[in-house]
Chains A and B, each alone.
Chain A
Amino acid sequence: MDAAVSAKAALLQALVRGPGYGLDLIERVKKQTHGKFVLGQGSVYPALRELEREGLLESYEGEPLPERGGRPRRYYKLNALGAKAAIEQREVVMGLFMPVPEVG
């Protein structure tokens, strides 16, 4: 199932459920796909930054946490453009699985 979904697409869909940070988003995607699509550290962070550069996401820092060695979490959330892109993307993917109307 590796090539079926890109990391960026998976992250966009995961963010439809609300803001999240890297680790949280990895878990969301894993749960949503029943463990069949697992994002790795190598792909999730660059994908998030790329989505942010493309203007689909916004990010902000949370509070520093002791379990993170005093480092803050960086939360990502969809903006209006990102939400629209996520919906369009979902429609495209769903369209692929719709039965093809018989011709003639």
Chain B
Amino acid sequence: MPRKSTLDWDSKHYRQLVEFVRHWRAQTPESVQPVDWRPEDRGLQNDRRLVELARQLSALARDQSIQPEDREAQNYRQLVKFIKRWNVEAQDQSVSSQQWRWRLRWALLGRQTLECQSLTANQLTMCRVNRTFRFVSALVPKRLADEQIGDALELMAEHLKRSSARWPIYWRLAVTIFWLLVNALRDHFVAMLAGPMARKRTPGE
């Protein structure tokens, strides 16, 4: 019975990465390419395939001449960031294949997720807070969002300098969102009511 591939969970991503690396290798002199890349070798153990792919990505990240475009550029930036952040050295044999697998999984996740995954507890909290605020700020006028969310973030940053407790951060997040929405609604109704009244007051009417 053939061994079940452990790459099935994201084989689509794996294929994308393989395509990306293949594209890059086609444009790069062989002398700077890492050897041992056999993406089509079905006989190769999955762990080995991942290590080889990671080596390619690591080399790719070091090559400053590569300027990928559009969708590739986003993936590429994520990978470069990921590799730099974790100081990934594909030649480092002390990194187990299991670790490689997780590192690659992180690399495959979205940029936000990747940033959040590799931060300290406090930074992780702020990352979640920022993400929530980004979502909420899309629902309210920019001026309100800039003012209230900005002030709340300042308060949170001050708090984190003094204390490591995170519940006040989440409390502040909830309170800010509540008042932001209330104030947005209030402004909306004030503008709605002021509209007809302002028209009545217009001279000559």
Contact = CB atoms under 8 A, between A and B. Distances in A.
Interface string A49-74: 10000000000010001011101111
A23 interface: yes
A46 interface: yes
Given A68-B153, A69-B130, A41 B175 contact: yes
Nearest to B152: A41
B147 A41 contact: no
B150 A41 contact: no
Interface in A54-104: 61, 65, 67-69, 71-74
A65 B157 CA distance: 12
A45 B157 contact: no
Interface residues of B, number: 23
Interface residues of A, number: 18
A23 B146 CA distance: 12
B119 interface: no
Given A23-B155, A68-B153, A74-B143, A41 B179 contact: yes
A42 interface: yes
A63 to B, nearest CB: 12
B148 A22 contact: yes
Contact of A68 (B150, B175, B179): B150
A23 B133 CA distance: 18
Contacts of B183: 42, 45-46
A69 B153 contact: yes
Contacts of B176: 41
Contacts of B179: 40-42, 45
B190 to A, nearest CB: 8
Interface of A: 21-23, 40-42, 45-46, 49, 61, 65, 67-69, 71-74
Given A41-B151, A69-B150, A74-B143, 4 more contacts: A22-B148, A42-B179, A49-B187, A68-B151
